[in-house]
Amino acid sequence: MTTARTHSDASSLDADARTELMHAVLDGTADADRVQVLDALLASSAEAAEEFAAWKAMFRTLSAIPMAHPPEGMVAAISAAVATPAPTDRNKFSNTNQLFTDTQVIASGQAQTRRPPSGFRAFFRRPSRSESSQEFGQMNASRKIWAGGAVAAVALGIAVFATGYPPKAENLTGTVAPAERYRAPQAGSDAIKLGEPAATSTAAAPAAATGVEAAKADASRMVASKTDAQLMAEKADASRAVAAQADASRMVASKTDAQMMAEKADASRAVAAQADASRMVASKTDAQMMAEKADASRMVASKADASRMVASKTDAQLMAEKADAARAVAAKADASKADASRAEALKADAQLQAERAKASKASN
C-alpha cells in the first residue's frame, strides 16, 4: 500500500470506522495494511492519537482485571457427585441427574428419548420451554399410566360389587332364563331324557360370555393405557383372570349361593390385593423419590456449607490483604513524611548556614 493511499484512507474514515480500526489493531485482528492506515491517522491527527491512547489504556486495564477464583471445594464437590454410586443401577451417573433436577425414577429413559442433535447449533441450543414441558409430560405420562392402572383395578373391584359380577343365581333370571326353566320342575329320574341336561350348560354359556366380554373390555381399556412391557405381563394376567372368571361363571350355574358368595369374596380380595399392590408400587416409587430428594437436599446443603466456608476464608484473606495494603500505604506515607521532614531540616540547616555565612561576612 502506498503512503499516499494510506493517508487518503486514513483521512476518509468517519468516527465509527476510526474507532473500529483502533479496536481491530488493539485486538490484534487488523492486517498490516490496516495497521499502516492507523499509523498514518495517528501521525496526522492529535485527536485520533488521544482517542487511541484512551482505548489502549482501557484495553490494558481490562486485561489487568484478574479472573476470580472459584470456591476451593468445587472440584471436591463435583468429584463426590460423580464418584458416589447411584442409589439404583439404571444409569452409572444417575445420582448426578438427581442433584439438580426433579427425580427421574419413572422417566429413567429420558436421556435416550432426547432428540438427536442436528449439527452444532442444534446441540448448543438450549431446550425450549416446550421441549422441557414435553420431557416433563413424558415423565408424568408414565406416572399417569401407573395411576390409571391402579384406578382401573379399583374400578373393576367396585364394579364386581356394584353389578354383582359374577352374578348371583337369583340375578340370572332373564339372562339365564333357559337355565331356570330347565331347573324348576324337578322331574323324576324316569322323566329325564338322556341328552337334555346338556342344555343347562349350553344355556349358561351366554351369561358367562357376557361377563367375559365385559372383563375383556375392561382388560383392553387397561391395556390400552400401558407400556408394551407392562402390556405383555398384564395381558397374560388378564387372560388368566378372564379364563378364571369364565370358569367361575360356568361353575356359578351349578353351585350354591354360599359357594358363590365365597368365590365372590375371593374375587374381591384378589381385586383388592391387586389394588394394594398398585398402591404399594406407587408408594414405593414415592418413597424412592423422597429419599432421592432428601439426598439431593443434603448434597446441596453440604455444598452451601462448603461455599460458606470458602467465602469466609476468602473474606479473611481479603481482610488480611487489605490490611497489608493499608500498612504498605501507611508505611509509604510515613516514609514520605520522614523524607519531607528531613528535606525541611536540611533546608533549615542550609538557611541557617547561609545566614551564618552572611553574618560572618557582614562582621568581616
Partner 1 sequence: MHDDEDQLALAAFRSGDRHAFIGLVERYQRPVYNAAFWVLRRPDDAADVAQTVFLRVIERLDDYDPQYRFFSWIYRIAVNEALDVLRRNGREEPLDDDIDIPDIPGGDPESVLARAQDAERLRRCLLRLPTPDRIVLTLRHFSDLSYDEIGQVLELDEKTVKSRIFEARKRLRALVAPQMVHAS
Q: Should residue 46 be labelled a site residue for partner 1 when binding is judged by CB under 8 A?
A: no
Regarding 82 and contact with partner 1 (CB under 8 A), the answer is: yes
Judged by beta carbon, residue 101 or residue 163, the one nearer partner 1 is: 101
Our finding on whether 256 is near partner 1 (CB under 8 A) is no
* 1, 35, 43, 78: which one binds partner 1 (CB under 8 A): 78
**Contact between 321 and partner 1 (CB under 8 A)?**
yes
First-to-last alpha carbon distance for the chain, in angstroms, is 79
Q: How far is CA 273 from CA 69, 157, 269, in A?
A: 59, 10, 6
Q: Is the four-CA dihedral 62, 66, 70, 75 of positive or negative sign?
A: positive
Look at the alpha carbons of 110, 115, 119, 123 in this order and tell me if their dihedral is positive or negative: negative
Q: How far does Cα 170 stand from its chain's mean position?
A: 58
Residues 6, 37: contact at Cβ < 8 Å?
yes
CB of 22 to partner 1, least distance (A): 10
Q: Which residue has the cell 374381591?
A: 268
86 near partner 1, judged by CB under 8 A: no
With 0-12 / 13-18 / 19 or more C-beta atoms within 10 angstroms meaning exposed / middle / buried, residue 178 is middle
Span interacting with partner 1, options 39-47, 73-81, 222-230, 282-290, rule CB under 8 A:
73-81
Question: For residues 94 and 274, which CB has a smaller minimum distance to partner 1 in the complex?
Answer: 94
Q: Does 136 bind partner 1 (CB under 8 A)?
A: no
Of 30 and 152, nearer to partner 1 (C-beta) is 30
19 is a site residue for partner 1 (CB under 8 A): yes
User: Which three cell numbers mark 215?
Assistant: 372383563
Q: Under the criterion CB under 8 A, does residue 346 sit at the interface with partner 1?
A: no
**What own/partner pairs with CB < 8 Å and gap ≥ 24 does 91-97 have?**
95/295
Q: Cβ atoms within 10 A of the Cβ of 364, count?
A: 5
Q: Does 328 bind partner 1 (CB under 8 A)?
A: yes
Stretch 88-107 residues interacting with partner 1 (CB under 8 A)? 92-93, 96-97, 99-100
Using rule CB under 8 A, residue 20 touches partner 1: yes
Under the criterion CB under 8 A, does residue 18 sit at the interface with partner 1? no
Window 285 to 314, contacts with partner 1 (CB under 8 A): 303, 307, 311
Tell the smallest beta-carbon distance from residue 345 to partner 1 (Å). 24
Q: Which of 72, 71, 79, 74 is nearest to 96 (CA)?
A: 79
Q: How far is CA 26 from CA 29, 32, 47, 65, 316, in A?
A: 8, 13, 18, 17, 38
Taking the complex as a whole, the smallest distance from the CB of residue 127 to partner 1 amounts, in Å, to: 10
Q: Tell me if the bond preceding 166 is cis, omega within 30° of 0.
A: yes
Min dist. Cβ of residue 48 to partner 1 (A): 14
Query: DSSP letter at 171?
Result: G
Q: Which residues bind partner 1 (CB under 8 A)?
A: 19-20, 23, 27, 29, 53-59, 61-71, 74-75, 77-79, 81-83, 92-93, 96-97, 99-100, 111, 114, 117, 119-121, 123-126, 303, 307, 311, 318, 321-322, 325, 328-329, 332
